Amino acid sequence: MCRPSKGTTKVADVPRNFGHPGILRFMSPRAKGEAGEETPRRPVTSTRPALPREFIAQHKQRRIMDALAELTAEQGYEATKISDIVKRAGVARKTLYDNFEGKEEVFLAAFDSARDELLRRVEEGGADADGDWQGRVEGGLAAFLGFVAEQPTVARMCMIEALSATPTATKRYEDAVDAFVELTRKALPDDDRLPDTIAETLVGGVAWIVYQQIRRGETERAEDLLPELSEFMMAPYLASA
């Protein structure tokens, strides 16, 4: 019988536990894979936090109100249907009724939101005038006209459609005008020689001129009215000085 040459490994010398899991701990990950054992994988987890339910609900409400503002600007309040609103907003009909009682409540919510934002801007615009009444008037007017130019669909909804949409909407419009009258009184100087209704007259005149601008389809150019309207509001006080 031939004797194995020096350096040749006998079958009997091969360890009986070759391939036993214990030996795999000495092998590289690649070698382990080749040996048939899969490398453990870490579970993939998402690091993106879930949005709060309140935020999601407010976002849907905003989309519904924006959709109504766009539609009323395009076709009027009366012609706008619930089906139009949910389609434009990209929400289900149930979602609309989960948040609003119907079309009128959507309109009123959109109107109130715009009114509050506009009042805030006008008040801030007048407050930046360092105590000068002429600067307060011009700053408030600039803020008002800037809002109208930036948001033509909302401006049309508030200043045209609100006048005829529903009796409640008309009352909201009148209350909003009263709020702007109060802001105007605070901005203007006291002058006993002028009638008590001067603030109402000036606010009404400004609203009428802007109303006509919107009706002509020139809402985006509302800021061009600033010099004319500033002179209109200041003229009675400058003439009596």
Question: pLDDT tens digits for 51-60?
Answer: 677 767 788 9
Contact between residue 201 and residue 117 where contact means Cβ atoms under 8 Å apart: no
131: left (phi > 0), else alpha (psi -120 to 50), else beta? Answer: left
Structure tokens at 128: 């930046």
**pLDDT in the model for residue 46:** 53
Q: Picking from 8-17, 130-139, 196-205, which range would have the lowest pLDDT averaged per residue?
A: 8-17
Residue 231 above 50 pLDDT? yes
Whole-model pTM over 0.85: no
Question: pLDDT tens digits for 63-79?
Answer: 999 999 999 999 999 99
Give the residue-averaged pLDDT of 128-153. 91
**pLDDT in the model for residue 166:** 96
Give the residue-averaged pLDDT of 93-106. 96
What are the structural domains of the chain? Answer: 53-234 (1.10.357.10)
Residue 105 above 60 pLDDT? yes
Question: pLDDT tens digits for 28-40?
Answer: 554 445 545 555 5
C-alpha distance from residue 8 to each of 4, 13, 14, 163 (Å): 6, 10, 11, 104
Residue 210 above 80 pLDDT? yes
What's the residue count for the chain? 241
